[in-house]
Structure 1
Amino acid sequence: MNNRSTAIRNLPRLAALVAGLLSAAGALAQGAPWVGETLAGGPCTGQPQGYGPYDYTQRFSYSHELMLVERSHFTQKVELLQGGSTGKIQGDLDYTLRAWPNHHRALNSISRYGLEFHRKQRSEPPYSPVECYFQRALNYSPKDATATLLYAIYLHKTGHRDKALEAYETAHELAPENPQVMYNMSLLLVDLGQLERAKSYATKLYANGFPLPGLKNQLQQKGAW
């Protein structure tokens, strides 16, 4: 078979490859827009898209791109909120989350930073409200159960119980057997007085050897265990 015949036979595969590359390029070009509202009711805004965006649930396919961001901006020092890498802590977190909107560890760090600012332990706020980073992440990767759980925990800790329950229930729909989702959602259910529902999840958790006793202790204190 000559080279011309081989090239003709490969045309469909080449066309599919080009289409896939164009689709991926189009997704990157769309970026990850700032969406939603702050907990105070204002529009979510932030810095424009720079590097990326990349989906953290697909990080093993983009290990080089992840390494570039983490090596410069999301160092251990930044993750632990001990200091910035290229400037201020919140600046490095902002860069990381603009490049990787649903970066789980960076979302956890920005959440902790926001809580510390809320408790007057930090003098400077995050570059964008914490809830805006989460809404941007979930708009970009709506099936990410871990990011959804982290958002629910943040909402719970800041006293927004109704929104927290909605986020927990979404996380539970995405990952119905995830023990961390059931455990944290049940803690909120206890706070809301929904003891029977909390107990049903707790029974399943502890029957499967879940190690943290906090939920059981709270149910015992309420006379529901």
Structure 2
Amino acid sequence: MSHIIITPVLRLLFYTGLLLQATFFTNALQASEFCDPNLASRVGPRDYFDDKHHKAGRIGIVERIHLTPEMLRLEKGNTASISDDLNYTLTVIPNHPAGLDLASRLDRAIKDFPERYRREKLTRTVDCYFQRAFWYTPSQPYLHYIFAIHLHRNQAYQQAAEAYSQAQRLGLNNAELAYNYGLTLFELKRYDEARKMADNAKALNYPFDGLQQKLAKKGF
């Protein structure tokens, strides 16, 4: 098994200093589309990674109504379409990791299964949703991790590798990141580096070995 894995999102409570990241985002995000930088709204923004916003209850309310398990399975929306409920979620909580990942997966599903998802239309592009998240909390490592998965999903492997590396520089280091980073490095034919990531994932008790099997077939 070697596909990209993302487990239920944990509330990460670590922070780092702000970094100048304009060059990376200019390269990784589409620059041709206008993306509204105004995050203020009647109901937000709320920071998913700030515990006080969870304690206030608003994030939980939004998740229960506008980010349901059926939505995460790409089955149906709750109050409207998946895309409309998702847009509400990412308007209130621009940096919601599961919401951003859903935007990426829904966009892919609309392209791959146009008849099944013919009623779905994202209010903003996926790149815009990520751009707004980075404007809000640019140094949150888990956002870079989710962005890397999005880039890999769309075969932008070099940019995905840069995003994984940025997540690591910002302090994220776990088995899931190592494994998925290794998959991207494999696609780039950087097999020695992919092997190191596979070994890191194994040392951290990652349960899947598809990456190791792919590397073994290449003699690594």
TM-score bracket relative to the smaller structure: 0.7 to 0.9
Q: Which consecutive residues of structure 2, in runs of 5 or more, have no partner in the other structure?
A: 1-24
2:134 is the counterpart of 1:138: yes
In structure 1, the partner of 2:102 is: 109
Question: Residue 222 and residue 125 in structure 1: after superposition, are their counterparts in 2 closer, same or farther (change >3 A)?
Answer: farther
In structure 1, the partner of 2:184 is: 188
CA distance, structure 2, for counterparts of residue 221 and residue 44 of structure 1:
43
2:189 is the counterpart of 1:203: no
Residue by residue over 1:88-117, the C-alpha shift from the partner in whole angstroms, topping out at 9 and shown as x without a partner, is 210110010111011122122212101101
1:66-105 matches, cutoff 5 A: 66-105=59-98
Shift of 1:43: 2.8
2:34 is the counterpart of 1:43: yes
CA distance, structure 2, for counterparts of residue 207 and residue 134 of structure 1:
31
Is the 8 Å Cα contact of residues 45 and 128 (structure 1) preserved in structure 2?
A: no
Shift of 1:42: 2.5
| Percentage identity across paired residues of the two chains | 32
In structure 1, the partner of 2:15 is: none
Q: What RMSD over aligned residues (CA atoms) do the two structures have, in Å?
A: 2.3
Report how many aligned residue pairs link the two structures: 190
CA distance, structure 1, for counterparts of residue 47 and residue 81 of structure 2:
24
CA distance, structure 1, for counterparts of residue 61 and residue 201 of structure 2:
39
Q: TM-score, normalised by structure 1?
A: 0.75
CA distance, structure 1, for counterparts of residue 95 and residue 113 of structure 2:
26
CA distance, structure 2, for counterparts of residue 201 and residue 71 of structure 1:
36
Bigger CA drift: 71-80 or 209-218? 71-80
Q: Which consecutive residues of structure 1, in runs of 5 or more, have no partner in the other structure?
A: 1-34
Q: Secondary structure at 1:57's aligned position in 2?
A: coil
CA distance, structure 2, for counterparts of residue 81 and residue 60 of structure 1:
30
Question: Residue 176 and residue 105 in structure 1: after superposition, are their counterparts in 2 closer, same or farther (change >3 A)?
Answer: closer
The structure with more helix, counted as a fraction of residues? 1
In structure 1, the partner of 2:48 is: 56
Q: TM-score, normalised by structure 2?
A: 0.77
Is the 8 Å Cα contact of residues 38 and 44 (structure 1) preserved in structure 2?
A: no
Question: Residue 119 and residue 167 in structure 1: after superposition, are their counterparts in 2 closer, same or farther (change >3 A)?
Answer: same
Shift of 1:155: 0.7
In structure 2, the partner of 1:219 is: 215
Is the 8 Å Cα contact of residues 59 and 66 (structure 1) preserved in structure 2?
A: no
In structure 1, the partner of 2:7 is: none
Is the 8 Å Cα contact of residues 175 and 204 (structure 2) preserved in structure 1?
A: no
CA distance, structure 1, for counterparts of residue 172 and residue 29 of structure 2:
28
CA distance, structure 2, for counterparts of residue 160 and residue 218 of structure 1:
20
